[in-house]
A and B are shown apart, each in its own frame.
Chain A
Amino acid sequence: MSATTASPWRAYLAVAMTRFKMVLQYRAAAFAGFVTQLFWGFVKVMVFVAFFEASNEVQPMTFSEVLVYVWLGQGLLALLPWNVDAEIAGDIRSGGVAYELLRPLDLYGFWFARTLAFRAAPTLLRLFPMLIFAYWGLPLIGLAEWALPMPDSFASGFLFVFSVTATLALSTAFTMVMHVALMWTISGEGFNRLMPGIVPVFAGLIIPLPLFPDWLQPYLYWQPFRGLADVPFRIYSGHIPVNEALFEIAMQWVWFAVIVVFGYRLLMRARIKLVVQGG
């Protein structure tokens, strides 16, 4: 027995870092993703240009705020919980999950660390090229009026970083629910087809949430998917002012806690099924 009393965080961190390094290897996929998201970014911007030109009314968002929404959305697309980790899905299908119980770690924590890396690594690969291109690249090719604006203020930019951190946690918690549910559905195909239809709409990535009709606003406000995109993007652009931002970030963490508790309970039930029924 040589195990020390070091904190388990080191273990979870090591698991996450390992997975992170592995996902970082998929550079070709990241490049393809970048090109695709750039293309869709242009399409979206052009749609909004037409929208703002066709209307004389005062909109709930300015064009500049919409630009922030579009480009950050394209850069952070991979962060949305829209698919499952093929590696974890494979482990579940083959019964390999049972063997993870051999590790002296909490199963939820173990998977959460892997899932966190699975969400974070592809996002980091795509985010920075997108930000750089949208901020410096677009003016260079004569599209300065479509470029990504700077954060509304220093405080907005600072709070945006905090909010995106919460987004990562929230997205990981959502993905964990999907991973746990795989123990029943076995195949991840259902989620991989269903979630891209639901998540982007409620997160605001199809149409920014403030542009939905007024009567829908209360419903859109009180749902967890907002924290995946709408909240950090509007904090960046100042559409959510600095004094309201802290509350919004707190709400992201509240939703995070709710979804973690749900996923954890679900995993406990799945574990009983697993250990009682066999792998």
Chain B
Amino acid sequence: MPQIFVENLEKRFRVAERKAGLWGAFRGLVHRHYRDVEALHGVSFSIEPGELVGYIGPNGAGKSTTIKILSGILVPSGGHCEVNGLVPWKNRVLHVARIGVVFGQRTQLWWDLPVIESFELLRDIYRVAPVDFTRTADELIELLELSPLLDVPVRQLSLGQRMRCDLAASLIHQPDILFLDEPTIGLDAVAKLAMRSFVQRQNKERGMTVLLTTHDMDDIEALCTRLLLINHGTLLMDGTVKDLRSDERRVLVDFESVPQLNAEHAAFVREQDGNRVTFRVTGRVPEFIADITAHYRVRDLMVEHPPIEETVAELYRKGGR
């Protein structure tokens, strides 16, 4: 039995609609229009213990809805799901004691409390034994470098500091699954790196299962062994980051002067900016480079993967209905 099991998950929201303007407001008083929004459209996947899975998709694709169902906040309209053998919304209290959740968009710490008091309150809420709490908290404080922040009220923390504290707070009760909803949103480069290495360590050393949603493809490349791609409430892809990579390469060439390319070579051009030409080549890259350097005077040359963002954007578009 996988640790997280999702089958045909569906979620519809009823949204009250009102026509714009004063007349619309009056009509809304008498007669309300509802529109069904289909957030999830039969999503199925399963995750084994110890996996680190990226869950990506454009805004409004249904990522957060899935996380909210898996963490017991929302009840789905259809389908089935089990986490650690429990149905999240039916056994909510038992279930949430075994998961950690971080929402990048909102803190779960107590705004007016010093960080350490938030941790202590969580200790009491999750009924963590004092010995275990001391050990876990000390470890988290060291790994995430929280000691200078412990006496600061949460409202005075910067976003990066707050995220580190939120991350620690989600692990006080030593959950075996961690859900991260856009954990790197708004973070600077240093904070992002710290976040990633911490999550990776928890996954590698403690075998914690992690499901992570993000818009940052670097998060995915750095962390995830597996990728779930969703759009319009449907799963479009379930595979590895490698699967996203095609054989296509970008060959960037700086010529000595503006080159007069022959028709054969011109067919490979993706874009040209003066002396610099980017070619799009699939397979046989060494031969292509040899050919170019034989025909033209080349100053510099570079081979790249196409940016993963472009591949993903392409997939999002394909998935559009």
A interface residue numbers (CB < 8 A to B): 1-6, 8, 10-11, 13-15, 18, 22, 96, 98-99, 101-106, 275-279
> Which of chain A's residues have a CB closer than 8 A to the CB of B68?
98, 278
B interface residue numbers (CB < 8 A to A): 13-14, 65, 68, 71-75, 89, 92-94, 96-98, 101, 103, 106, 108, 110, 112-113, 117, 120-121, 124-129, 132, 136, 173-174, 176
State the CA gap A235–B93 with chains docked (Å): 42
> Which of chain B's residues have a CB closer than 8 A to the CB of A279?
73
Q: Are B129's CB and A18's CB within 8 A? A: no
> Which of chain A's residues have a CB closer than 8 A to the CB of B128?
2-4
Q: Given A3-B97, A18-B113, A18-B121, A8 and B127 touching (CB < 8 A)?
A: yes
State the CA gap A181–B295 with chains docked (Å): 78
Q: Given A15-B121, A18-B121, A104-B94, A99 and B73 touching (CB < 8 A)?
A: yes
State the CA gap A101–B93 with chains docked (Å): 8
Q: Are B97's CB and A104's CB within 8 A? A: yes
> Which of chain B's residues have a CB closer than 8 A to the CB of A103?
96, 125-126
B125: contacting residue among A2, A5, A15, A101, CB under 8 A: A15
Q: Are A102's CB and B96's CB within 8 A? A: yes
> Which of chain A's residues have a CB closer than 8 A to the CB of B136?
2
State the CA gap A10–B125 with chains docked (Å): 8
Give A103's nearest chain B residue, CB to CB: B125
State the CA gap A102–B125 with chains docked (Å): 11
B124: contacting residue among A10, A22, A101, A277, CB under 8 A: A10
Q: Are B174's CB and A2's CB within 8 A? A: yes
A254 CB to nearest B CB, Å:
29
A62 CB to nearest B CB, Å:
47
B136 CB to nearest A CB, Å:
8
Additional 14 contacts, C-beta under 8 A, given A18-B121, A98-B73, A278-B65: A2-B132, A2-B174, A3-B126, A3-B128, A3-B173, A4-B129, A14-B120, A15-B125, A18-B117, A99-B103, A101-B96, A104-B97, A106-B93, A278-B74
State the CA gap A203–B132 with chains docked (Å): 48
State the CA gap A5–B126 with chains docked (Å): 10
Q: Are A275's CB and B73's CB within 8 A? A: yes
Q: Given A2-B132, A104-B93, A11 and B73 touching (CB < 8 A)?
A: no
CB pairs A–B below 8 angstroms (9 shown)? A1-B174, A2-B136, A4-B129, A18-B121, A22-B112, A98-B74, A102-B101, A102-B108, A278-B68
State the CA gap A8–B110 with chains docked (Å): 20
State the CA gap A18–B243 with chains docked (Å): 50
B166 CB to nearest A CB, Å:
12
Q: Are B92's CB and A101's CB within 8 A? A: yes
Q: Given A11-B127, A103-B125, A277 and B93 touching (CB < 8 A)?
A: no
Give B131's nearest chain A residue, CB to CB: A2
B296 CB to nearest A CB, Å:
59
State the CA gap A99–B166 with chains docked (Å): 14
> Which of chain A's residues have a CB closer than 8 A to the CB of B93?
104-106
The listed residue with most B CB atoms (<10 A of its CB), out of A10, A14, A101, A104, is: A104
A11: contacting residue among B92, B112, B125, CB under 8 A: B125
State the CA gap A106–B89 with chains docked (Å): 13
B13: contacting residue among A14, A101, A104, A277, CB under 8 A: A277
State the CA gap A152–B157 with chains docked (Å): 54
> Which of chain A's residues have a CB closer than 8 A to the CB of B108?
99, 102
Q: Are B125's CB and A277's CB within 8 A? A: no
State the CA gap A32–B126 with chains docked (Å): 38
Q: Are A104's CB and B103's CB within 8 A? A: no
Q: Given A98-B73, A103-B125, A1 and B98 touching (CB < 8 A)?
A: yes
